[in-house]
Amino acid sequence: MMNKFNVKILATGSYVPEKILTNSDLEKMVDTSDQWITERTGIKERRIIGKNQNLSDLAFEASKKAIEKSKISINDIDIIIVATISGDMPFPATACILQKKLGINAVAFDISAACSGFIYGLSIAKSFIESGAYKTVLLVGGEVMTRITDWTDRNTCVLFGDGAGAMVLQASETEKDVLSVHLGADGTYTNLLNMPAGGTAMPTTHETVENKLHYIKMSGKEVFKIAVVKMAEAARKALELSGKKDEDIALYIPHQANLRIIEAVGKKLGVAKEKIYVNVHKYGNMSAATTIIALDEAISSGAAKKGDIITVMAFGGGLTWGAAVLKI
């Protein structure tokens, strides 16, 4: 019988583009205001990818940082998983393009679970390592949301930003850092958050472009309600699976979609504001990149300390959701 390994987190890394788009900038682009955006979302600014950059470039920068901090040889990486809904192209996978840029020989593929992508990827990495199939995994959550955003739609264009985060995970016979992962999905809500055109169901035509069907479409109020319930449920289930208790959790890192959602999830879980990590004001919603960038920032800033038990959770189009309990 194959040994079951534990999963150790070696390191994390993140990268966001240099260009900052503020609420004041948006006031000049659409009928909106800093006050309106701040009150409804908590977002003050977001990062915008450079003209000559693509998702694989953001993923490469984040991966370099994580690999350097992990102190492994880059050739130790057995598999690359990239969670994204905004890859360089429909195919090949952005993970394959990243593999080429890193100059390594590793299995590579993308997964699509929208904002929950990093949590879904974490579950896949955990399964691969625990089964003994692979020893070392490079997991990336990255998005270029601003290229699939309708900049004339004031309800959605204020929400999104670009970035990438990476985590290096490795098999261990002693240390256990990924304590639990819980996932969920409900495809009956696919109409609430999607990008209608560009797939084989609605191939690109002059009409789909003119009708702006290649951009994110979202029913905000409906998504808000479900997001709060499902993220809280996922966090509770992941905690139960981990064998830990509420008081064991040092920090909660929810998906940074909207400050009001974050606050509502905290209230539903009965968690003090001081134990909830927030960076939505700086970056907006970076979809699959959000939770891993927030985790990396929490670690590098000291908000999360060595040995802390942390709950990360996310919710996105699909609808998908998930949560994980990690030891840092």
DSSP states of 183-250:
EEE-GGGGGGEE--SSSSSS---HHHHHTTTTS-EE-HHHHHHHHHHHHHHHHHHHHHHHT--GGGEE
Whether the per-residue pLDDT at 216 is higher than 90: the answer is yes
pLDDT at residue 3 in the model: 62
DSSP conformational letter for 74: G
Per residue in 262-283, pLDDT tens?
999 999 999 999 999 999 999 9
Chain centroid offset of residue 219 CA? 20
Q: Which two tokens stand for residue 237?
A: 């289930």
Whether the per-residue pLDDT at 20 is higher than 80: the answer is yes
pLDDT at residue 4 in the model: 83
Radius of gyration of the chain (CA): 19
Answer yes or no: 96 catalytic: no
Whether the per-residue pLDDT at 2 is higher than 60: the answer is no
CA distance 62 to 229: 31
**Backbone torsion region of residue 254, taken as left when φ is above 0, otherwise alpha when ψ lies between -120 and 50, otherwise beta:** beta
Q: What is the rounded average pLDDT for all residues in the chain? A: 96
Per residue in 44-64, pLDDT tens?
999 999 999 999 999 999 999
- What dihedral angle (degrees, nearest 10) is formed by the CA atoms of 98, 104, 105, 110? -20
Answer yes or no: 157 catalytic: no
- Taken in order of first residue, the domains within the chain and their CATH numbers are 6-175 (3.40.47.10), 179-327 (3.40.47.10)
* 141 C-beta neighbours (distance < 10 Å), count: 36
Strand (E) positions, the chain? 6-15, 19-22, 45-48, 79-83, 107-111, 136-144, 162-172, 178-185, 193-194, 217-218, 249-254, 309-316, 320-327
DSSP states of 20-44:
EEEHHHHHTTSS--HHHHHHHH---
Q: How many CA atoms lie within 13 A of 187 on its CB side?
A: 0
- Cβ-based neighbours of 267, under 8 Å, separated by 6 or more: none
pLDDT at residue 1 in the model: 39
Mean pLDDT for 161-172 is 98
Mean pLDDT for 225-245 is 97
Answer yes or no: 255 catalytic: yes
Per residue in 192-202, pLDDT tens?
999 999 999 99
Percentage of the chain lying above the pLDDT 70 cut: 99
Q: Which entry of 23, 115, 194, 258 is annotated as an active-site residue?
A: 115
